Amino acid sequence: MFTLGIKDSFAAAHKIVGYKGKCEELHGHNFLVEVFISGEKLGDDGLLVDFKVLKDYLKDILDGLDHKYINEISFFAERASSAEYIAMYIYGEIEKRITGKGVLLKEVRVWESDKAWAAYER
């Protein structure tokens, strides 16, 4: 089994509605996002998936989050804008793009600081 990992970042604001503490107030993060893809079979070119293709998928998704107020994005209308749900959102968006490409999306990890991360996997 081969595993690929890519990472990128974005800056955004959010607040955790109903949270009892500082995170209930509007604040921002410089989020770091890691994506892990796996698969058994390499293509004739010796690649599982071209890193550039994966990076482009992630950049496209993160461009929709960068410098935004996450709570206003429709996905977060009925759920918290927590790192956990941000990871779930990005996972779903990456999954749409790689379906049918013979690889498995293993995990999306979202770091909201250099000391704290949340991950989503199916």
Distance between CA atoms of 62 and 91, rounded to whole angstroms? 12
User: Is 112 part of the annotated catalytic residue set?
Assistant: yes
Tokens 């790192």 locate to: 83
Token pair 């993060």: residue: 29
Q: Is 14 a known active-site residue?
A: no
Please indicate whether residue 23 is annotated as part of the active site: yes
Catalytic residue (choose from 24, 40, 67, 121): 67
Beta strands in 1-122 (DSSP E): 2-14, 27-39, 104-113, 116-120
Phi first, then psi, for residue 75 (nearest 5°) are -55, -30
Catalytic residues: 23, 67, 112
